[in-house]
Structure 1
Amino acid sequence: MVAVAGVLRFRWLNVLGLTDEELDEVKCAVSGYGVGVSAIGSPIGKVPITDPFGPHLERFRRALDVAAVMEAPYVRVFSFFIPEGQKPVLHREEVLERMGALAGEAGSAGITLLHENEKEIYGDVPGRCVDILSGVGSPALRAAWDAANFVQCGVGHPYTEGYEALRPYIEYVHVKDALAGSGEVVPAGHGNGEIPETLSALRDSGFDGFFSLEPHLASSGTYSGFSGPDLFRKAAGVFKDLLLQRGIPWS
Protein backbone atom coordinates (compact mmCIF):
# COMPACT_ATOMS: atom_id res chain seq x y z
CA MET A 1 0.00 0.00 0.00
CA VAL A 2 1.41 3.38 -1.00
CA ALA A 3 -0.13 6.62 0.31
CA VAL A 4 0.28 9.79 -1.72
CA ALA A 5 -1.43 13.06 -0.74
CA GLY A 6 -4.05 11.18 1.22
CA VAL A 7 -4.83 8.77 -1.62
CA LEU A 8 -4.13 5.08 -1.10
CA ARG A 9 -2.81 2.99 -3.95
CA PHE A 10 -2.55 -0.77 -3.59
CA ARG A 11 0.20 -2.82 -5.20
CA TRP A 12 0.20 -6.58 -4.66
CA LEU A 13 3.93 -7.21 -4.34
CA ASN A 14 6.61 -7.58 -1.72
CA VAL A 15 8.07 -4.38 -0.35
CA LEU A 16 11.38 -5.27 -1.99
CA GLY A 17 9.66 -4.59 -5.32
CA LEU A 18 8.91 -0.96 -4.52
CA THR A 19 10.94 1.73 -6.23
CA ASP A 20 13.03 4.08 -4.11
CA GLU A 21 10.42 6.79 -4.65
CA GLU A 22 7.58 4.51 -3.57
CA LEU A 23 9.54 3.39 -0.54
CA ASP A 24 10.06 7.01 0.49
CA GLU A 25 6.30 7.58 0.12
CA VAL A 26 5.58 4.64 2.40
CA LYS A 27 8.11 5.86 4.96
CA CYS A 28 6.54 9.33 4.98
CA ALA A 29 3.04 7.88 5.27
CA VAL A 30 3.75 5.61 8.24
CA SER A 31 5.86 8.24 9.98
CA GLY A 32 3.06 10.75 9.55
CA TYR A 33 0.75 8.50 11.52
CA GLY A 34 3.33 7.75 14.19
CA VAL A 35 3.69 4.14 13.04
CA GLY A 36 6.96 2.25 13.15
CA VAL A 37 8.08 -0.84 11.23
CA SER A 38 9.41 -3.74 13.28
CA ALA A 39 10.53 -5.99 10.43
CA ILE A 40 10.78 -6.29 6.67
CA GLY A 41 8.85 -9.38 5.58
CA SER A 42 11.25 -10.33 2.84
CA PRO A 43 11.04 -13.49 0.71
CA ILE A 44 14.80 -14.03 0.98
CA GLY A 45 15.61 -17.73 1.21
CA LYS A 46 12.32 -18.76 -0.36
CA VAL A 47 14.02 -20.09 -3.47
CA PRO A 48 15.44 -23.54 -4.24
CA ILE A 49 18.77 -24.26 -2.58
CA THR A 50 19.95 -25.42 -6.02
CA ASP A 51 19.48 -21.94 -7.54
CA PRO A 52 22.59 -19.78 -7.97
CA PHE A 53 23.22 -17.74 -4.84
CA GLY A 54 24.67 -14.60 -6.42
CA PRO A 55 21.47 -13.05 -7.80
CA HIS A 56 19.61 -13.86 -4.59
CA LEU A 57 22.36 -12.25 -2.53
CA GLU A 58 21.87 -9.05 -4.52
CA ARG A 59 18.16 -9.11 -3.74
CA PHE A 60 19.01 -9.64 -0.09
CA ARG A 61 21.11 -6.49 -0.14
CA ARG A 62 18.02 -4.66 -1.37
CA ALA A 63 16.20 -5.99 1.69
CA LEU A 64 18.88 -4.49 3.92
CA ASP A 65 18.51 -1.17 2.11
CA VAL A 66 14.74 -1.26 2.61
CA ALA A 67 15.19 -2.01 6.30
CA ALA A 68 17.51 0.97 6.63
CA VAL A 69 15.03 3.33 4.96
CA MET A 70 12.15 2.05 7.09
CA GLU A 71 14.32 2.04 10.23
CA ALA A 72 13.33 -1.59 10.80
CA PRO A 73 15.64 -3.56 13.10
CA TYR A 74 14.71 -6.95 11.58
CA VAL A 75 14.49 -8.67 8.20
CA ARG A 76 12.58 -11.96 7.94
CA VAL A 77 14.30 -14.71 5.94
CA PHE A 78 13.91 -18.40 5.11
CA SER A 79 16.36 -21.27 4.69
CA PHE A 80 15.81 -22.35 1.08
CA PHE A 81 13.53 -24.91 -0.52
CA ILE A 82 14.84 -28.47 -0.57
CA PRO A 83 14.29 -30.38 -3.84
CA GLU A 84 11.26 -32.64 -3.64
CA GLY A 85 12.13 -36.18 -2.61
CA GLN A 86 15.62 -35.31 -1.38
CA LYS A 87 16.79 -35.51 2.21
CA PRO A 88 17.46 -32.09 3.77
CA VAL A 89 20.76 -33.30 5.23
CA LEU A 90 22.17 -33.54 1.70
CA HIS A 91 21.97 -29.75 1.45
CA ARG A 92 22.89 -28.87 5.03
CA GLU A 93 26.38 -27.57 4.28
CA GLU A 94 25.14 -25.26 1.51
CA VAL A 95 22.26 -24.00 3.65
CA LEU A 96 24.56 -23.14 6.55
CA GLU A 97 27.06 -21.47 4.24
CA ARG A 98 24.38 -19.29 2.68
CA MET A 99 22.69 -18.44 5.96
CA GLY A 100 26.06 -17.55 7.42
CA ALA A 101 26.79 -15.23 4.50
CA LEU A 102 23.43 -13.50 4.94
CA ALA A 103 23.97 -13.12 8.67
CA GLY A 104 27.43 -11.69 8.11
CA GLU A 105 26.18 -8.94 5.82
CA ALA A 106 23.20 -8.23 8.04
CA GLY A 107 25.39 -7.89 11.11
CA SER A 108 27.66 -5.43 9.30
CA ALA A 109 24.57 -3.37 8.43
CA GLY A 110 23.27 -3.39 12.00
CA ILE A 111 20.28 -5.54 11.04
CA THR A 112 19.11 -8.77 12.70
CA LEU A 113 17.72 -11.56 10.52
CA LEU A 114 14.71 -13.55 11.68
CA HIS A 115 14.57 -17.10 10.37
CA GLU A 116 10.96 -18.18 9.89
CA ASN A 117 10.22 -21.89 10.02
CA GLU A 118 8.28 -22.74 6.88
CA LYS A 119 7.07 -25.69 4.85
CA GLU A 120 9.46 -27.37 2.40
CA ILE A 121 12.55 -25.37 3.41
CA TYR A 122 15.52 -26.74 5.36
CA GLY A 123 14.35 -25.13 8.60
CA ASP A 124 10.85 -26.54 8.64
CA VAL A 125 10.89 -28.39 11.97
CA PRO A 126 12.39 -27.42 15.35
CA GLY A 127 15.47 -29.64 15.11
CA ARG A 128 16.65 -28.20 11.82
CA CYS A 129 15.84 -24.66 12.95
CA VAL A 130 18.15 -25.18 15.92
CA ASP A 131 20.73 -26.70 13.57
CA ILE A 132 20.76 -23.52 11.46
CA LEU A 133 20.84 -21.09 14.36
CA SER A 134 23.47 -22.94 16.36
CA GLY A 135 25.47 -23.87 13.27
CA VAL A 136 25.72 -20.29 12.04
CA GLY A 137 26.18 -19.04 15.59
CA SER A 138 25.65 -15.36 14.79
CA PRO A 139 23.82 -12.80 16.94
CA ALA A 140 22.56 -11.39 13.64
CA LEU A 141 20.49 -14.53 12.98
CA ARG A 142 17.59 -15.20 15.33
CA ALA A 143 14.28 -17.09 15.23
CA ALA A 144 10.77 -16.03 14.31
CA TRP A 145 8.54 -18.64 15.95
CA ASP A 146 5.57 -19.67 13.79
CA ALA A 147 3.40 -22.28 15.49
CA ALA A 148 0.99 -22.68 12.58
CA ASN A 149 3.81 -23.46 10.17
CA PHE A 150 5.17 -26.08 12.55
CA VAL A 151 1.75 -27.74 12.74
CA GLN A 152 1.48 -27.73 8.95
CA CYS A 153 4.86 -29.49 8.81
CA GLY A 154 3.64 -32.33 11.00
CA VAL A 155 4.86 -31.02 14.35
CA GLY A 156 1.81 -32.00 16.37
CA HIS A 157 2.78 -30.11 19.53
CA PRO A 158 5.12 -27.20 18.70
CA TYR A 159 5.52 -25.96 22.26
CA THR A 160 6.06 -29.43 23.71
CA GLU A 161 8.39 -30.56 20.94
CA GLY A 162 10.36 -27.44 20.12
CA TYR A 163 10.03 -24.48 22.45
CA GLU A 164 12.72 -25.37 24.99
CA ALA A 165 15.38 -25.97 22.35
CA LEU A 166 14.50 -22.85 20.36
CA ARG A 167 13.81 -20.43 23.21
CA PRO A 168 17.41 -19.11 23.36
CA TYR A 169 16.97 -17.90 19.78
CA ILE A 170 13.36 -16.66 19.75
CA GLU A 171 13.16 -12.91 19.22
CA TYR A 172 9.92 -12.56 17.26
CA VAL A 173 6.62 -14.45 17.29
CA HIS A 174 4.12 -14.92 14.46
CA VAL A 175 0.59 -15.16 15.78
CA LYS A 176 -1.37 -17.72 13.83
CA ASP A 177 -2.60 -21.21 14.62
CA ALA A 178 -3.48 -24.29 12.57
CA LEU A 179 -5.31 -27.58 12.84
CA ALA A 180 -3.29 -30.78 12.69
CA GLY A 181 -4.20 -32.99 9.76
CA SER A 182 -5.94 -30.47 7.54
CA GLY A 183 -3.47 -27.65 8.18
CA GLU A 184 -6.34 -25.16 8.20
CA VAL A 185 -5.30 -21.82 9.67
CA VAL A 186 -7.44 -20.70 12.63
CA PRO A 187 -7.32 -17.90 15.24
CA ALA A 188 -4.68 -18.17 17.95
CA GLY A 189 -5.56 -20.77 20.57
CA HIS A 190 -8.13 -22.51 18.36
CA GLY A 191 -5.69 -24.97 16.79
CA ASN A 192 -2.92 -27.38 17.71
CA GLY A 193 -0.11 -24.82 17.90
CA GLU A 194 -0.13 -24.73 21.72
CA ILE A 195 -0.15 -20.94 21.60
CA PRO A 196 -1.55 -20.45 25.13
CA GLU A 197 1.25 -22.59 26.58
CA THR A 198 3.82 -20.75 24.47
CA LEU A 199 2.60 -17.33 25.60
CA SER A 200 2.76 -18.36 29.26
CA ALA A 201 6.30 -19.67 28.83
CA LEU A 202 7.43 -16.54 27.00
CA ARG A 203 5.99 -14.41 29.79
CA ASP A 204 7.75 -16.45 32.45
CA SER A 205 11.06 -16.20 30.58
CA GLY A 206 10.88 -12.41 30.40
CA PHE A 207 10.31 -12.22 26.64
CA ASP A 208 10.15 -8.58 25.53
CA GLY A 209 9.84 -8.75 21.76
CA PHE A 210 7.39 -8.42 18.92
CA PHE A 211 4.23 -10.37 18.19
CA SER A 212 3.27 -10.19 14.52
CA LEU A 213 -0.39 -10.93 13.84
CA GLU A 214 -0.54 -13.05 10.67
CA PRO A 215 -3.92 -14.81 10.80
CA HIS A 216 -4.15 -15.81 7.08
CA LEU A 217 -7.80 -16.69 7.74
CA ALA A 218 -9.19 -16.01 4.27
CA SER A 219 -6.41 -17.54 2.20
CA SER A 220 -2.86 -18.77 2.59
CA GLY A 221 -0.22 -20.02 0.20
CA THR A 222 3.47 -20.56 -0.26
CA TYR A 223 4.22 -16.90 -0.84
CA SER A 224 1.35 -14.98 0.76
CA GLY A 225 -1.63 -14.95 3.10
CA PHE A 226 -4.72 -12.79 3.52
CA SER A 227 -7.44 -12.23 6.10
CA GLY A 228 -9.30 -9.03 5.25
CA PRO A 229 -10.29 -6.38 7.80
CA ASP A 230 -13.15 -8.24 9.52
CA LEU A 231 -11.27 -11.49 10.04
CA PHE A 232 -8.16 -9.58 11.05
CA ARG A 233 -10.13 -7.76 13.75
CA LYS A 234 -11.48 -11.09 14.95
CA ALA A 235 -7.99 -12.58 15.13
CA ALA A 236 -6.67 -9.50 16.95
CA GLY A 237 -9.47 -9.70 19.52
CA VAL A 238 -8.83 -13.38 20.20
CA PHE A 239 -5.10 -12.76 20.65
CA LYS A 240 -5.66 -9.79 22.97
CA ASP A 241 -7.89 -12.00 25.12
CA LEU A 242 -5.09 -14.56 25.39
CA LEU A 243 -2.67 -11.85 26.49
CA LEU A 244 -5.11 -10.41 29.03
CA GLN A 245 -5.77 -13.84 30.51
CA ARG A 246 -2.04 -14.17 31.19
CA GLY A 247 -1.42 -10.65 32.41
CA ILE A 248 0.83 -9.86 29.46
CA PRO A 249 0.93 -6.14 28.63
CA TRP A 250 1.46 -4.84 25.11
CA SER A 251 2.06 -1.52 23.41
Structure 2
Amino acid sequence: MIITCVTNEVYPDASSESLPKIFGRAQEQGIGSFELRLVEGKRFPMFEADAFARLKEQSKEFGINYTAVSPGLFKVPLKSELTALHTNYLLPMSLDLADEMGIKTLILFGPTRAENPAANEFDEVVALIKNAVEIAVARGFTVQLENLPGSWADTSDACFNLLEAVNHPDFGYVWDTGNLYEAEETHFRAGYEKLKPYIRNVHLKDGAVVDGKMVWMRYGEGVTDVKGQVEALIADDYKGTLVLEAACQPHEMADFPTSIAYLKSILA
Protein backbone atom coordinates (compact mmCIF):
# COMPACT_ATOMS: atom_id res chain seq x y z
CA MET A 1 0.00 0.00 0.00
CA ILE A 2 1.10 3.57 -0.69
CA ILE A 3 0.40 5.65 2.43
CA THR A 4 -0.91 9.01 1.25
CA CYS A 5 -2.16 12.25 2.81
CA VAL A 6 -4.70 14.84 1.71
CA THR A 7 -3.47 18.42 1.52
CA ASN A 8 -6.07 19.77 3.95
CA GLU A 9 -6.06 16.94 6.53
CA VAL A 10 -2.56 17.12 8.01
CA TYR A 11 -2.39 20.54 9.62
CA PRO A 12 -5.27 22.86 10.66
CA ASP A 13 -4.05 25.89 8.74
CA ALA A 14 -5.35 27.36 5.45
CA SER A 15 -3.06 30.38 5.37
CA SER A 16 -0.43 31.21 2.76
CA GLU A 17 2.14 29.80 5.21
CA SER A 18 0.48 26.38 5.50
CA LEU A 19 2.22 24.26 2.85
CA PRO A 20 5.64 23.87 4.53
CA LYS A 21 3.85 22.92 7.76
CA ILE A 22 1.70 20.34 5.98
CA PHE A 23 4.49 18.77 3.94
CA GLY A 24 6.99 18.92 6.80
CA ARG A 25 4.61 17.25 9.21
CA ALA A 26 3.89 14.44 6.77
CA GLN A 27 7.58 14.05 6.02
CA GLU A 28 8.29 13.59 9.73
CA GLN A 29 6.05 10.51 9.55
CA GLY A 30 7.81 9.18 6.47
CA ILE A 31 4.99 10.17 4.10
CA GLY A 32 5.77 11.89 0.79
CA SER A 33 2.62 11.11 -1.24
CA PHE A 34 -0.38 13.42 -1.35
CA GLU A 35 -3.80 13.55 -2.96
CA LEU A 36 -4.36 17.11 -4.15
CA ARG A 37 -7.61 18.69 -2.99
CA LEU A 38 -7.55 21.92 -0.97
CA VAL A 39 -4.66 24.37 -0.94
CA GLU A 40 -4.85 27.44 1.30
CA GLY A 41 -8.61 26.99 1.60
CA LYS A 42 -9.33 26.77 -2.15
CA ARG A 43 -10.20 23.55 -3.96
CA PHE A 44 -8.18 22.32 -6.90
CA PRO A 45 -7.95 23.74 -9.55
CA MET A 46 -9.41 27.07 -8.38
CA PHE A 47 -6.26 28.23 -6.60
CA GLU A 48 -4.97 31.76 -6.46
CA ALA A 49 -2.06 32.22 -8.87
CA ASP A 50 0.32 32.88 -5.98
CA ALA A 51 -0.94 29.78 -4.17
CA PHE A 52 -0.24 27.63 -7.22
CA ALA A 53 3.27 29.03 -7.44
CA ARG A 54 3.81 28.26 -3.75
CA LEU A 55 2.41 24.77 -4.24
CA LYS A 56 4.82 23.98 -7.07
CA GLU A 57 7.78 25.43 -5.17
CA GLN A 58 7.04 23.65 -1.90
CA SER A 59 6.18 20.36 -3.65
CA LYS A 60 9.59 20.40 -5.30
CA GLU A 61 11.38 21.39 -2.11
CA PHE A 62 9.82 18.56 -0.08
CA GLY A 63 9.90 15.99 -2.90
CA ILE A 64 6.13 15.47 -2.86
CA ASN A 65 4.56 12.87 -5.15
CA TYR A 66 0.90 13.40 -6.09
CA THR A 67 -1.29 10.35 -6.62
CA ALA A 68 -4.53 12.04 -7.76
CA VAL A 69 -6.43 15.32 -8.02
CA SER A 70 -9.91 15.85 -6.61
CA PRO A 71 -11.62 18.97 -8.01
CA GLY A 72 -15.09 18.05 -6.70
CA LEU A 73 -16.16 17.19 -10.24
CA PHE A 74 -19.94 16.60 -10.49
CA LYS A 75 -20.65 17.36 -6.81
CA VAL A 76 -23.69 19.25 -8.12
CA PRO A 77 -27.33 18.35 -8.86
CA LEU A 78 -27.74 16.41 -12.08
CA LYS A 79 -30.54 18.74 -13.26
CA SER A 80 -28.49 21.89 -12.87
CA GLU A 81 -26.67 24.29 -15.19
CA LEU A 82 -23.62 23.61 -13.02
CA THR A 83 -23.38 20.12 -14.48
CA ALA A 84 -22.64 21.53 -17.94
CA LEU A 85 -20.17 24.01 -16.41
CA HIS A 86 -18.34 21.14 -14.75
CA THR A 87 -18.14 19.22 -18.02
CA ASN A 88 -17.20 22.16 -20.22
CA TYR A 89 -14.92 24.13 -17.90
CA LEU A 90 -14.01 22.44 -14.60
CA LEU A 91 -13.06 19.15 -16.26
CA PRO A 92 -10.66 20.56 -18.89
CA MET A 93 -9.19 23.06 -16.43
CA SER A 94 -8.56 20.25 -13.95
CA LEU A 95 -6.88 18.10 -16.58
CA ASP A 96 -4.72 21.01 -17.72
CA LEU A 97 -3.52 21.86 -14.23
CA ALA A 98 -3.03 18.21 -13.27
CA ASP A 99 -0.93 17.76 -16.41
CA GLU A 100 1.20 20.72 -15.40
CA MET A 101 1.72 19.10 -11.99
CA GLY A 102 2.53 15.72 -13.54
CA ILE A 103 -0.57 14.06 -12.04
CA LYS A 104 -2.48 11.52 -14.13
CA THR A 105 -5.39 10.39 -11.95
CA LEU A 106 -8.67 12.32 -11.67
CA ILE A 107 -11.30 11.74 -8.97
CA LEU A 108 -14.95 12.51 -9.69
CA PHE A 109 -18.29 12.03 -7.92
CA GLY A 110 -21.77 10.95 -8.83
CA PRO A 111 -24.03 14.00 -9.20
CA THR A 112 -26.44 14.82 -6.39
CA ARG A 113 -29.55 12.65 -6.66
CA ALA A 114 -32.99 14.31 -6.59
CA GLU A 115 -35.43 13.19 -3.93
CA ASN A 116 -37.68 11.68 -6.60
CA PRO A 117 -35.50 11.08 -9.67
CA ALA A 118 -37.06 10.43 -13.04
CA ALA A 119 -36.83 6.93 -14.48
CA ASN A 120 -34.17 7.84 -17.05
CA GLU A 121 -31.84 9.78 -14.74
CA PHE A 122 -29.53 6.85 -14.03
CA ASP A 123 -28.85 6.59 -17.75
CA GLU A 124 -28.10 10.33 -17.85
CA VAL A 125 -25.63 9.95 -14.98
CA VAL A 126 -23.91 7.05 -16.75
CA ALA A 127 -23.64 9.06 -19.98
CA LEU A 128 -22.28 12.12 -18.10
CA ILE A 129 -19.60 10.14 -16.29
CA LYS A 130 -18.69 8.00 -19.30
CA ASN A 131 -18.15 11.14 -21.37
CA ALA A 132 -15.85 12.62 -18.69
CA VAL A 133 -13.93 9.34 -18.42
CA GLU A 134 -13.41 9.16 -22.17
CA ILE A 135 -12.20 12.78 -22.30
CA ALA A 136 -9.75 12.18 -19.46
CA VAL A 137 -8.51 8.83 -20.73
CA ALA A 138 -7.87 10.33 -24.17
CA ARG A 139 -5.40 12.64 -22.42
CA GLY A 140 -3.63 9.80 -20.63
CA PHE A 141 -5.52 9.91 -17.33
CA THR A 142 -7.17 7.24 -15.24
CA VAL A 143 -10.40 8.18 -13.45
CA GLN A 144 -11.80 7.16 -10.06
CA LEU A 145 -15.33 7.37 -8.67
CA GLU A 146 -15.61 8.46 -5.02
CA ASN A 147 -18.73 7.62 -3.04
CA LEU A 148 -20.60 10.44 -1.29
CA PRO A 149 -23.89 10.46 0.66
CA GLY A 150 -26.80 11.92 -1.30
CA SER A 151 -25.17 11.33 -4.66
CA TRP A 152 -25.76 8.77 -7.39
CA ALA A 153 -22.75 6.99 -5.89
CA ASP A 154 -23.74 6.92 -2.23
CA THR A 155 -24.20 3.27 -1.20
CA SER A 156 -22.18 0.19 -2.10
CA ASP A 157 -24.89 -0.97 -4.50
CA ALA A 158 -25.16 2.44 -6.17
CA CYS A 159 -21.39 2.62 -6.69
CA PHE A 160 -21.28 -0.91 -8.07
CA ASN A 161 -24.12 -0.17 -10.48
CA LEU A 162 -22.36 2.94 -11.82
CA LEU A 163 -19.00 1.23 -12.17
CA GLU A 164 -20.61 -1.65 -14.02
CA ALA A 165 -22.65 0.62 -16.28
CA VAL A 166 -19.75 2.91 -17.26
CA ASN A 167 -17.67 -0.23 -17.82
CA HIS A 168 -14.30 1.28 -18.70
CA PRO A 169 -10.93 -0.34 -17.84
CA ASP A 170 -9.50 3.02 -16.76
CA PHE A 171 -12.46 3.83 -14.49
CA GLY A 172 -11.93 2.61 -10.93
CA TYR A 173 -13.24 3.24 -7.46
CA VAL A 174 -12.26 5.26 -4.37
CA TRP A 175 -13.40 3.10 -1.46
CA ASP A 176 -14.41 5.56 1.29
CA THR A 177 -15.93 3.48 4.09
CA GLY A 178 -16.60 6.57 6.21
CA ASN A 179 -18.83 8.02 3.50
CA LEU A 180 -20.39 4.61 2.90
CA TYR A 181 -21.24 4.27 6.58
CA GLU A 182 -22.81 7.72 6.59
CA ALA A 183 -24.98 6.70 3.63
CA GLU A 184 -26.05 3.19 4.65
CA GLU A 185 -24.89 2.63 8.26
CA THR A 186 -23.68 -0.90 7.57
CA HIS A 187 -20.30 -2.52 8.14
CA PHE A 188 -17.91 -2.24 5.18
CA ARG A 189 -18.03 -6.01 4.65
CA ALA A 190 -21.57 -5.72 3.27
CA GLY A 191 -20.31 -4.26 -0.01
CA TYR A 192 -16.60 -4.98 0.00
CA GLU A 193 -16.55 -8.19 -2.03
CA LYS A 194 -18.52 -6.77 -4.95
CA LEU A 195 -16.56 -3.50 -4.99
CA LYS A 196 -13.12 -5.05 -4.46
CA PRO A 197 -12.33 -5.63 -8.16
CA TYR A 198 -12.77 -1.90 -8.82
CA ILE A 199 -10.86 -0.47 -5.83
CA ARG A 200 -7.87 1.63 -6.92
CA ASN A 201 -7.79 4.10 -4.04
CA VAL A 202 -8.89 3.97 -0.39
CA HIS A 203 -9.92 6.90 1.79
CA LEU A 204 -9.43 6.06 5.44
CA LYS A 205 -11.51 7.89 8.02
CA ASP A 206 -13.42 6.98 11.14
CA GLY A 207 -16.59 8.29 12.67
CA ALA A 208 -20.03 7.57 14.06
CA VAL A 209 -23.56 8.86 13.69
CA VAL A 210 -24.31 11.17 16.62
CA ASP A 211 -27.80 12.69 16.92
CA GLY A 212 -28.50 11.79 13.31
CA LYS A 213 -25.30 13.35 11.95
CA MET A 214 -22.01 11.73 10.95
CA VAL A 215 -19.20 13.00 13.17
CA TRP A 216 -15.59 12.33 12.14
CA MET A 217 -13.29 11.01 14.86
CA ARG A 218 -9.72 9.87 15.34
CA TYR A 219 -8.93 6.39 14.08
CA GLY A 220 -10.21 3.69 16.42
CA GLU A 221 -12.75 5.96 18.13
CA GLY A 222 -15.59 5.54 15.62
CA VAL A 223 -17.60 2.61 14.28
CA THR A 224 -16.37 2.37 10.69
CA ASP A 225 -13.80 -0.30 11.67
CA VAL A 226 -10.55 1.19 10.41
CA LYS A 227 -8.64 -1.76 11.80
CA GLY A 228 -10.80 -4.30 9.98
CA GLN A 229 -10.64 -2.29 6.77
CA VAL A 230 -6.84 -2.13 6.73
CA GLU A 231 -6.55 -5.79 7.68
CA ALA A 232 -8.89 -6.75 4.82
CA LEU A 233 -6.75 -4.81 2.37
CA ILE A 234 -3.57 -6.45 3.67
CA ALA A 235 -5.17 -9.90 3.39
CA ASP A 236 -6.14 -9.17 -0.22
CA ASP A 237 -2.63 -7.86 -1.03
CA TYR A 238 -3.94 -4.43 -2.00
CA LYS A 239 -1.21 -2.39 -3.72
CA GLY A 240 -2.95 0.96 -4.29
CA THR A 241 -3.08 4.15 -2.25
CA LEU A 242 -4.32 4.39 1.34
CA VAL A 243 -5.27 8.02 1.86
CA LEU A 244 -5.36 9.30 5.43
CA GLU A 245 -8.30 11.56 6.19
CA ALA A 246 -7.47 12.08 9.82
CA ALA A 247 -9.11 15.43 10.59
CA CYS A 248 -11.87 15.48 13.21
CA GLN A 249 -14.52 18.07 14.00
CA PRO A 250 -13.16 20.53 14.92
CA HIS A 251 -9.77 19.86 13.30
CA GLU A 252 -7.21 19.76 16.11
CA MET A 253 -3.43 19.69 15.99
CA ALA A 254 -3.24 16.21 17.52
CA ASP A 255 -5.61 14.55 15.01
CA PHE A 256 -2.98 13.63 12.45
CA PRO A 257 -0.24 12.19 14.71
CA THR A 258 -2.79 10.32 16.85
CA SER A 259 -4.40 8.64 13.86
CA ILE A 260 -1.01 7.93 12.25
CA ALA A 261 0.09 6.18 15.43
CA TYR A 262 -3.09 4.06 15.37
CA LEU A 263 -2.55 3.12 11.72
CA LYS A 264 1.09 2.20 12.34
CA SER A 265 0.00 -0.09 15.16
CA ILE A 266 -2.16 -2.01 12.66
CA LEU A 267 0.53 -2.15 10.01
CA ALA A 268 3.28 -3.22 12.44
Above 0.5 in TM-score? yes
1:97 has 2:127 as partner: yes
Distance of 1:90 and 1:179 partners within structure 2: 34
Q: 1:91 to 1:216 in 2, by over 3 A?
A: farther
User: 2:9 matched to which residue of 1?
Assistant: none
Query: Equivalent residue for 2:7?
Result: none
Q: Which amino acid aligns with 1:77?
A: L
Letter in 1 for 2:145: H
Letter in 1 for 2:43: N
Say yes or no: does 1:199 pair with 2:223.
Answer: no
More contact order relative to length (CA 8 Å, sep ≥ 6): 2
- Contact kept, 8 Å, 1:40 with 1:66, in 2: the verdict is no
Distance 2:53 2:259 in 1: 30
Unaligned runs of 5+ in 1: 220-226, 245-251
* Counterpart selection for 2:153 from 116, 123, 126: 123
CA distance in 2, matches of 1:64, 1:13: 17
In the alignment, which residue of structure 1 is the partner of 2:246? 215
> What letter corresponds to residue 200 of structure 1 in structure 2?
E
Between Structure 1 and Structure 2, which shows a larger proportion of strand residues?
2
Asked if 1:27 is matched to 2:51, the reply is no
In structure 2, what is the Cα distance between the partners aligned to 1:188 and 1:20? 35
In the other structure, the counterpart of 1:168 is 197
The normalised TM-score by structure 1 is 0.84
Normalised by the size of structure 2, how large is the TM-score? 0.79
Structure 2: any 5+ residue segments left out of the alignment?
A: 1-14, 23-38
Q: Does 1:37 find its partner at 2:61?
A: no
Alignment partners' CA distance in 1, 2:245 and 2:208: 15
Query: In the alignment, is the contact (CA less than 8 A) between 1:82 and 1:88 conserved in 2?
Result: no
Q: CA deviation at 1:64?
A: 1.0
Name the count of aligned residue pairs: 233
Matched, 1:243 2:267: yes
SS of residue matched to 2:140: coil
Q: 2:254 aligns with which of 211, 217, 230?
A: 230
The residue identity in structure 2 corresponding to 1:235 is S
Q: Which runs of 4+ in 1 moved over 6 A?
A: none
Provide, for residues 9-29 of structure 1, a one-character-per-residue CA deviation record: whole Å limited to 9, x for no partner.
x73211211256643431222
How far the C-alpha of 1:232 sits from its partner, in A, is 1.7
Cα gap change, 1:73/1:242 in structure 2, threshold over 3 Å: closer, same or farther?
A: farther
Relative distance call for 1:196 and 1:7 in structure 2 (3 A) is: closer
The alignment-based identity, stated in percent, is 21
Match of 2:60, as an amino acid? S
Supply the distance in 2 between the matched residues of 1:109 and 1:99 (Cα, whole angstroms).
16
- 1:191 deviation in Å? 2.4
C-alpha distance in 2, partners of 1:7/1:129? 35
Q: How far off is 1:135 after superposition?
A: 0.7
Determine the structure 1 residue equivalent to 2:4. Answer: none
Match of 1:247 in 2: none
SS at 1:115's partner residue? strand
CA distance in 1 between counterparts of 2:118 and 2:231 reads 32
- Does structure 2 conserve the Cα–Cα contact (< 8 Å) formed by 1:75 and 1:112? yes
Matched, 1:109 2:109: no
Distance 1:134 1:27 in 2: 37
Kindly provide the CA deviation profile for residues 98-127 of structure 1, in whole angstroms up to 9, marking residues without a partner as x.
110111011111112221110110000001
